[in-house]
Amino acid sequence: MGVVGRPHGVRGLLHVHSYTADPADLPAYGPFEDGRGRRFSLRWRGEGIAELSELIDGRPVPVADRSQAEKLVNLSLYADRDRLPPAGGDEFYLADLIGLQAVGADGTPLGQVDAVHDYGAGASLEIGALFVPFTRAAVPVVDIAAGRITVVPPDEIVVPGRADDAA
Amino acid sequence: MARSVWKGPFVDGYLLNKAEASRGSGRNEIIKIWTRRSTILPQFVGLTFGVYNGHKFLPVQVNENMVGHKFGEFSPTRTFHGHSADKKARRG
């Protein structure tokens, strides 16, 4: 969910880079784990500057000074998937879509969703060499629980006799 | 310097033909184009284009807010690494 950056000041504050869509939401996903079993809580103290506390026996112990803060530089903060609010309606977390098995309308395996792209013109799924728009027409069924999506690759428009179609 | 208004928006000719063919069909179709320089016109709204980025055709679903922009703006040519941890995709 985030990465700890350089220390800020002498009172144990740290720069934290948030990977959430809105950085202000980051503390709500805590407590965080660091991949080595340690747990941390986080509280913003300024723009991009946070106070980290290590949870020892459920009790928060704040990072007290700069030397302690320096030991946390580059620490990755992870949160349980369950802490994310449920996606509603036709919205899906990218993390849930990536890795799903794609099958055709007739059940033919097409591959695995490698990435989800969104450059401001609607989301699209990368399935091997295939790119499909993430629309109801092209992806009619998304079954996260079964780990599968049904893909109907769109037809390509060809205008006969145009030189550009041969390019 | 901005393009002179009297010239109108620039659009490659073959793109207009393909869009016209797709608009009549009303099916699940994608229009593969190489013309990243063409302006998005109001008659393209609702269509899905595959815009070449030098490597692959990225799907671009045109909506009203994109009119006046160029197709290339929505098909980046550089590799994108990573995304927000809690980012969601909305099915169009």
Q: From the CA of B86, how many Å to the nearest CA of chain A? A: 5
A vs B, Cβ pairs < 8 A, gives 133
Report chain A residues whose CB lies below 8 A from the CB of B29. Answer: 154-157
Q: From the CA of B90, how many Å to the nearest CA of chain A? A: 4
* Confidence category of residue A46, pLDDT binned at 50, 70, 90: confident
**Domain final residue pick, A81, A109, A135:** A81
Test mutation, A157, A159, A164, A165, chain B, max B CBs within 10 A: A157
Cβ contact, residue pair B59, A157, below 8 Å:
no
Cβ contact, residue pair A135, B92, below 8 Å:
yes
Q: At B13, give phi and psi (nearest 5°).
A: -65, -40
> What pLDDT score does B68 carry?
93
Q: What is the mean pLDDT of chain A?
A: 85
A141 and A72, same domain (yes or no): no
> What pLDDT score does A95 carry?
83
A33 and A98, same domain (yes or no): no
A65 and A10, same domain (yes or no): yes
Share of chain A above pLDDT 70, in %: 94
**Domain final residue pick, A54, A81, A108:** A81
> What pLDDT score does B70 carry?
95
A103 and A140, same domain (yes or no): yes
- Does residue A86 lie in a domain region? no
> What pLDDT score does A166 carry?
44
- Does residue A159 lie in a domain region? no
- Does residue A144 lie in a domain region? yes
Rounded CA-CA distance A51/A132 in Å is 43
Tokens of A70: 């320096």
> What pLDDT score does A167 carry?
46
The tens digit of pLDDT for each residue in B11-62 reads: 998 898 888 888 766 677 889 999 999 999 999 998 999 999 999 999 999 9
Mean pLDDT, to the nearest integer, of B4-11?
93
For A49, A112, A140, B7, the CA distances from B87, given in Å and listed in that order, are 22, 20, 21, 41
- Does residue A100 lie in a domain region? yes
Rounded CA-CA distance A44/A116 in Å is 30
Total domain count for chain A? Answer: 2
Q: For chain B, how many residues are written?
A: 92
Centroid of chain to Cα A32: 15
A77 and A110, same domain (yes or no): no
Tokens of A123: 């989301």
> Domain of A128: which CATH number?
2.30.30.240
- Which residues constitute the domain of residue A111? 94-151
A67 and A8, same domain (yes or no): yes
* Confidence category of residue A160, pLDDT binned at 50, 70, 90: low
Characterize A21-53 residue by residue with b for buried, 16 or more Cβ atoms within 10 angstroms of its Cβ, and e for exposed. Answer: eebeebbebbbbbeeeeebbbbeeeeeeebbbb
> What pLDDT score does A164 carry?
53
The tens digit of pLDDT for each residue in A54-68 reads: 888 888 888 888 988
Centroid of chain to Cα B85: 27
For A4, A7, A23, A48, A121, the CA distances from A18, given in Å and listed in that order, are 9, 15, 5, 8, 24
A16 and A64, same domain (yes or no): yes
Rounded CA-CA distance B35/A36 in Å is 50
SS3 category, A3: strand
Share of chain A above pLDDT 90, in %: 18
Considering CB atoms only, which of B29, B75, B84 is closest to A157?
B29
Rounded CA-CA distance A98/B44 in Å is 30
- Does residue A89 lie in a domain region? no
Strand partners, A156: B30
- Does residue A87 lie in a domain region? no
Cβ contact, residue pair A157, B32, below 8 Å:
yes
The tens digit of pLDDT for each residue in A98-131 reads: 999 999 988 889 999 998 888 888 899 999 888 9
Mean pLDDT, to the nearest integer, of A38-45?
89
A112 and A60, same domain (yes or no): no
Give the pTM: 0.74
Q: Tell me the residue type at B45.
A: V
A111 and A44, same domain (yes or no): no
Rounded CA-CA distance B39/B72 in Å is 9
> Domain of A63: which CATH number?
2.40.30
Report chain A residues whose CB lies below 8 A from the CB of B77. Answer: none
On the CB side of B84, CA atoms within 13 Å amount to 14
A116 and A147, same domain (yes or no): yes
> What pLDDT score does A54 carry?
87
- Does residue A30 lie in a domain region? yes
* Confidence category of residue A84, pLDDT binned at 50, 70, 90: confident
Characterize B24-41 residue by residue with b for buried, 16 or more Cβ atoms within 10 angstroms of its Cβ, and e for exposed. Answer: eeeebbbbbbbbbebbbb
**Domain final residue pick, A81, A114, A137:** A81
> What pLDDT score does B24 carry?
67
- Does residue A16 lie in a domain region? yes
Flag whether pLDDT at B81 surpasses 90: no
A120 and A72, same domain (yes or no): no
Nearest CA in chain A to B73: A119
